[in-house]
Amino acid sequence: MVLALESSLISCWLSLVSVGANVNQKLFRGYATTAAVRESHIEILEILVNGGAIQPACEEALLEASYVGQGRLAELLMGSSMIRSHVAVHALVTASCRGFVDVVDTLIKCGVDPNANARVLLRSSKPSLHTNVDCNALVAAIVGRQISIVRLLLQSGVSMNIKVRLGAWAWDMATGEEFKVGAGLAEPYCVTWCAVEYFEASGSILRTLLQHLSPNLPHLGRTVIHHAILCNNARAMDVLLTCGADIEFPVQTTEKTEFRAIHLAARLGSAKVLQHLIIGGCNLNSKTESGETALMISARYKHEDCLKLLASAGADFGLVDSVGQCALSIAGFTQWTHVFEQAVLELIRGGKFAYSSNASSFSSLLFVTRANDIEALKKLVEKSEIDLDEQDGNGFSAAMIAAASGHVEAFCLLVYAGANLNLHNKHGETVITLSESNKNSDVFEKVILEYALTKGRYNSAGFHALNRAACCGDIESVRMLTRAGYDVNVVDVDGYTPLMLAAKGGHGNVCELLILNGAKCDIENARLETALALARKNGVGNEAERVILDELARKLVLDGAFVKKHTKEGKGCPHSKVLKIVRVSGFLSWGKSSKRNVICKGAEVGPSSTFWWNRRKKFDGGEPGVFRVVTTKNKEVHFVCDGGIEMAKLWVRGIELVTREAIFRKQQDLSSSTDQQWQRRSRGWRRRLMKWRSRLCESSGSEYSPPGTAVDLSDLVKSFMERVGEERERMRRVMERMDLRERVNLIWVVGL
């Protein structure tokens, strides 16, 4: 009979029934009713049901209808009153799992309870599931990804307040630690969690369920958004965020160990989920109970992709946890520094920078400088928000790090970008002192000075280039800097002027150049040091000391000062006078009369023997500060200055120096005027000689008389020399100043 049904031989089947065939005979493929459903023979099924099909045959046929999706046949069977309720529920769950909308709709209309459970085999490839589960039609439809069935069931009023044991994740309520236990072994959860774990590609099922259930309902201290992270389901996360899931809902434990979704995603390394959280606007810098941020967690668990995402989104690298560790120090603790470094450098080379609210913990600029990545450093210095002078916890700036590490190219880039080179770290070190300990110290010096010359004195980034050049004794750089207009009396952060530094280094030629350009010798710093005192630290009598003493002495005698003048070689009463030297004339002056304006031919410290004898009764003949001068008329004058023997030595030095300079200046002026005078006279004598020459030629009857002419010129020359007389020597000096051609012409004329 079953074979007849399968072959659709209705006439044959009727003949069999008429001869007494058993309609309830069960073979290996089921009852005749089952075969009729399988082959979609509604007429035969109707005959069988009306012809006395037993209850097991009808129930098996109904289950077959739910397997193959025969809605009309299921309706026929449900109308036979031969179907028990639990079988109908089983058929409903099976049809829901397989997605047969007409069967589900028919069964619901026939009064089957959509909220009833049945034990069915649920299968899924991802996540892997193959197990018998007690569930209702809604859960079966969710696991089977049957969108239409879910909508139909929800329209039918199926209850959402159900839980099912299908999850593969469990966690400790005390610590929050997660475990993957396998599908169906976790604690029961609600249908939205099931829709996340068994996610349908378009997200329609989850979205439909969330229209009826809040995504923020907690389950064992968590919400469905945390479950999406555990399942590493980025698309489900997108749906949840769209439907209003609380992105900042904390995971709650009995030990008050709280962390948020972003921390969970960073710990598990779910980069795609983390990206959705970032787009959703989560707090990138929220902390766990131990003070760790998602960035620190990514470094601790070595998740490079998560680190890059967080850094690109602007996570704070400067934050520290409860024990004072930042993300960089945690990476070092986990031996992940190299990967961390490369990830951050790649980010910066891409045009972004690692944000830090605390430069003492982390700074992109300092980090890149330490790594000596020039490409990344160029990207950073181009950004206006980067502070080139920020310092780390030890006070090191980027320029200091480059100088200490010997990174010349990075240092050059920072200097030309405007980094301040006068900053001090906590050990009192500057860029200069750090570069001096490096084998390339001369290269760093060259970079700084070239920058100063290129940018000018108003763009030297806080570095006193002239001071540094003077300290090194680089006279060419000093000359260029002074020509460029640098202030020769500028004081650096240590209180030193360029002259002080040159004197300290014993560079006499540099001191002389600075003084010629207006450097002051009497400036004193906070340590009461002057240029002279610093020069003497290298030993008395060096070149720098000589130059500075000359300038101090020159300034003293030219400015003048009150001294006591003794009269009559100490016999008279001393009186106060203003003593000074007139620069142009070289006169030593202490009054207006000619007797009080003299030229000195010598000066000495201390009294003469006569003066000392004359003042013996006054007991001041040998007092400190006594000095004497001898005029060109051999008159000896004694003075007493304030300041003791040192000041007396300075007076003597200044008098001799300025007098010598005045005499030398007069000689130069006289020589110059004499040269000009003799040039005029030589031109006059030359014109006269040329006239005489022309006359002699006319008297001889020829236009030109070569040397050795027959005309006797001796008498004429003798009379000419008698007229010249005492001018002969001067004429010879004129001849010495003539060029060779002029001398030949003159000799030819006068016969010399």
Domain ranges of the chain: 2-158, 160-258, 377-463, 464-547, 552-670, 687-750
- Which residues make Cβ contacts (< 8 Å) with residue 30, sequence separation at least 6? 2, 60, 64
How do strand 118-124 and strand 189-190 relate by DSSP bridges? unpaired
Cα 691 to chain centroid distance, Å, stands at 85
Mean pLDDT value across residues 197-206:
93
| Reported confidence tier of residue 680, pLDDT bands at 50, 70, 90 | low
pLDDT at 115: 93
SS3 307: helix
Q: Tell if the pTM clears 0.75, that is, is over it.
A: no
- pLDDT for residue 439 is more than 50: yes
| Reported confidence tier of residue 696, pLDDT bands at 50, 70, 90 | low
Cis previous bond, 127, omega within 30: yes
Contacts 24+ apart (CB under 8 A), 540-544: 542/506, 542/508, 543/506, 543/508, 543/509, 543/511, 544/502, 544/503, 544/505, 544/506, 544/507, 544/508, 544/511
Mean pLDDT value across residues 354-372:
91
Identify the DSSP state of 487: -
- Amino acid at site 126: K
| Reported confidence tier of residue 726, pLDDT bands at 50, 70, 90 | low
Report pLDDT digits (tens) over 53-95.
Answer: 888 888 888 999 999 998 899 988 888 888 899 999 999 999 9
The CATH class that applies to domain 160-258 reads mainly alpha
pLDDT at 744: 37
**At how many degrees (to 10) do helices 271-279 and 304-313 cross?**
10
Which of 344-358, 375-389, 447-461, 674-688 bottoms out in mean pLDDT, i.e. has the lowest? 674-688
Q: Which option is the CATH number for 464-547: 3.30.530.20, 3.40.190.10, 3.40.50.300, 1.25.40.20?
A: 1.25.40.20
Which of 450-464, 539-553, 647-661 bottoms out in mean pLDDT, i.e. has the lowest? 450-464
pLDDT at 692: 63
Closest Cα partner for 275 from 317, 318, 305?
305
Rounded Cα distance, 165 and 535, in Å: 91
DSSP bridge partners of 189: 164
Q: Where are the alpha helices (DSSP H) in 562-643?
A: 609-614
Rounded Cα distance, 450 and 309, in Å: 41
Residue 381 contacts residue 417 (beta carbons within 8 Å): yes
Mean pLDDT value across residues 170-182:
86
Q: Where are the alpha helices (DSSP H) in 354-464?
A: 364-371, 374-381, 398-405, 408-417, 431-436, 441-455
Share of the chain above pLDDT 70, in %: 83
- pLDDT for residue 311 is more than 90: yes
Report pLDDT digits (tens) over 519-538.
Answer: 998 899 888 889 988 888 87
Report pLDDT digits (tens) over 442-490.
Answer: 788 788 778 877 766 544 445 677 887 888 888 888 888 888 888 899 8
Give ∠ CA 564-570-573 in degrees, rounded to 5.
60
| Reported confidence tier of residue 736, pLDDT bands at 50, 70, 90 | low
- pLDDT for residue 4 is more than 60: no
Mean pLDDT value across residues 552-567:
89
Q: How many CA atoms lie within 13 A of 118 on its CB side?
A: 24
- Amino acid at site 573: C
Report pLDDT digits (tens) over 94-152.
Answer: 999 999 999 999 999 999 999 999 999 999 888 889 999 999 999 999 999 999 999 99
How do strand 626-631 and strand 169-171 relate by DSSP bridges? unpaired
Mean pLDDT value across residues 692-709:
53
Fold topology of 2-158: 1.25.40
Fold topology of 377-463: 1.25.40
Report the run of H or E that residue 47 belongs to, with start and end: helix 42-50
Residue 750 contacts residue 735 (beta carbons within 8 Å): no
Terminal C-alpha separation, the chain: 164
- pLDDT for residue 714 is more than 90: no
pLDDT at 101: 94
Mean pLDDT value across residues 224-237:
94
Rounded Cα distance, 483 and 184, in Å: 87
In CATH terms, is domain 552-670 a member of 2.30.29.240? yes
Residue 92 contacts residue 63 (beta carbons within 8 Å): no
DSSP bridge partners of 579: 561
Mean pLDDT of the chain: 83
Using only the alpha carbons of the chain, give its radius of gyration: 56
Pull the structure tokens for residue 324: 């004072």
Share of the chain above pLDDT 90, in %: 36
- pLDDT for residue 705 is more than 50: no
Q: Are 2-158 and 377-463 in the same CATH fold? A: yes
Residue 15 contacts residue 44 (beta carbons within 8 Å): no
pLDDT at 459: 47
